[in-house]
Structure 1
């Protein structure tokens, strides 16, 4: 049976890349959409659109009550605050809680290098600039790990919008940082979706040829 995946954050960036890749890999995709702007391009690809705001728990609970059971939730939400409230923690908390209530077992959260113990990978200047955001992302990670869901947390480095390089890798070395293309993050997320080895794991995601500093590290192999 074809798996149905719920993607939060599919309107742009990594979330959009993930939704498009899942369709190419013959998954059924439901995309959460907060904006009222048209979504014709995604709908033409067969992606189901469900409208709702991740900051509203009841809307997330309703969004996940679909006729066909959802296999997994993938969230990339975050970014600019809405009315002073960031979605990085509160939005993801609502998605996690709604997934638990709906009986969905699998949740993949796209976070950021700098959250949690990976703060060791960033310079003091970068940590000072991003500190408030990273605190919210770490709170979301902790909520997910405590939820009882089967989780995977992926922390990308600096994001680039050019076409993927195919050099994106996962590592559990929390001192490594670098750049990675959004398309390559999407590829790694989809690989984790199909890998038992990725279950209940936390990874950093970087391009092996775009490290900030040249250091030795171990790549995590999903197969």
Structure 2
């Protein structure tokens, strides 16, 4: 990354996105956070993040935030709906971000999806699919739109998310059968390491904590170096 370029982060208000915001600023990277509400704007600005308000479901908002004079190195999206949302942004919001990123000439797009989307549906239990099947289908549509966009991409599919401090045991794998849990802070570290990893380009990777795998399946860890 050049000093003039920045990272555009969608979903920084909570969860994995919030952890990524903290991780990136700790690395002294320039970050612009795209927020639907300003509830956490002050907290993010305090750690050096530029905040732009807008709704990912509104393409005009997204383009206004992204199409600026400053070049964007990478877009990172962790956006996803809450069960209470009338319209979930998992597909339409990410579609708008991807389409705007194409217009902006972004170098890389990192999408945080979920184990159970796409070909990793084989890893999800029937109970999970019964509850989250519709959400995972929307996430799969977002993944497919990104792959078809022509952008250089990395898709990271975390397993069950926990809010504990980072363990440092987060691992990536191309094996779609793997499932387990991972702390949000460890997902943030993996996303950060993918930023400048050419090996991660155009890859779909599942993310778990090596000590929180469900089952005993052997798998190859993906090396980012």
Whole-Å Cα distance in 2 between the matches of residues 21 and 175 of structure 1? 28
- Name the counterpart of 2:181: 179
Alignment of 1:120-199 (within 5 A): 120-199=122-201
Secondary structure, counterpart of 1:92 in structure 2: helix
Aligned residues: 223
**Pair 1:67 & 2:61 matched:** no
Contact kept in structure 2, 1:162 and 1:181, CA below 8 Å: yes
Alignment of 1:1-223 (within 5 A): 1-2=2-3, 3-80=5-82, 84-223=86-225
- Runs of 4 or more consecutive aligned structure 1 residues displaced over 4 Å after TM superposition: none
Q: Pick closer, same or farther for the CA change 1:13–1:146 going to 2, 3 Å.
A: same
TM-score by length of 2: 0.96
Whole-Å Cα distance in 2 between the matches of residues 213 and 96 of structure 1? 35
Secondary structure, counterpart of 1:188 in structure 2: helix
* Root-mean-square deviation (Å): 1.2
TM-score by length of 1: 0.97
Structure 2 unmatched runs, 5+? none
